[in-house]
Amino acid sequence: MQLFGLTALSLSIVFITYVLGKMLAGFEDGQNISFMLGLVGGGCFLASFVFSYFTSNAMGSSYITLPASAFEKWLCGILITSVFYLVLFLLFYRFIDTLFVGIYHRNLDANGPFYRQLYDQVQIFPYDGFIANKAILLFINFSGAMLVGSLYFNKVNFIKVALLICGFLLGSWVLNLFIARAMIQHVNNAMPYWFVFINVNKDEGRIELPEDIMEVVTIFIQFIIPATLWMLAWLRLKEKEF
């Protein structure tokens, strides 16, 4: 019941963010912000609750001693966070997006001078676009980290794991920048596994990873890290003492 409540809460926040974002920052930014927040934020929040039985002795004992294998319990967690929530979120998001975009298009004056331009300006959020790809990438990695974290930290695991993720991202960015500056001159910024910005006279140039290496890195981030996190969650659940 708690998970249903959290899912409903998350989807409500997505709806509110979409509406507010659209009003305050425009359609495209509203779409991007609400999609990112709903999938990454909501997904991580839900993932941190899936194994939250260990906040009390009574709940933890009841969960561990339930006659089901660690694999079955783990699989339930994975299905809830990575399949159930993802599918539900994408369906819900497409529904509200279609609704609002449809209302916008219907309210345009078809005989107005900029009708085509205004019509094309607002489109349904593409699930195969750059933002959606990055959001899904972040979602599978961060929700995996949340699952593992909730099995290591018995109390306030969401905050602890969120701090760890922020610390990791900040640390890897600083380290990456440090290494890049040691090797290349005039480095402006260096994002781990992605690109390096360098100052060339008054312009800024962008160095990207070679395509084949980028492919390896993408496979690593898309598949290897999430799979490792999920595996780690299963092993931890098997070995969890309480």
- The footprint of other proteins (CB under 8 A) covers 1, 56-62, 64-70, 72, 238-239, 241-242
Tokens read off for 141: 């990695």
* Geometric angle at alpha carbon 112, from 110 and 116, rounded to 5°: 65
Q: Which is nearer to other proteins, 22 or 236 (CB)?
A: 236
Q: Which is nearer to other proteins, 61 or 228 (CB)?
A: 61
Structure tokens at 170: 């900040």
Shortest CB 2 distance to other proteins, Å: 8
Instruction: Output 3 or 232, the one with its CB closest to other proteins.
Output: 3
For 44, phi and psi rounded to 5 degrees? Answer: -65, -40
Sheet order of strands, 195-200 included? 187-191, 195-200, 203-208
Judge residue 135's burial from the number of C-beta atoms within 10 Å of its C-beta, 0-12 exposed, 13-18 middle, 19 or more buried.
buried
Based on CB atoms, which residue is closest to other proteins, 62 or 121?
A: 62
Alpha carbon of 151 to those of 48, 185, 187: distances in Å?
Answer: 9, 44, 40
Nearest distance, CB of residue 153 and other proteins, angstroms: 18
Could you tell me the smallest distance in angstroms from the CB atom of residue 3 to other proteins? Answer: 12
Using CA of residue 95, residue 96, residue 97, residue 100, what is the dihedral sign?
positive
In the three-class reduction of DSSP (H, G, I as helix; E, B as strand; rest coil), residue 154 is classed as coil
Nearest-approach distance from CB 179 to other proteins, in angstroms: 39
Burial class (CB in 10 A: 0-12, 13-18, 19+), 3: middle
State which residue, 23 or 68, has the beta carbon closest to other proteins: 68
Which two tokens mark 101? 């975009």
Instruction: Provide, rounded to whole angstroms, the least separation between the CB of residue 156 and other proteins.
Output: 19
Nearest distance, CB of residue 63 and other proteins, angstroms: 9
Q: Which is nearer to other proteins, 53 or 125 (CB)?
A: 53
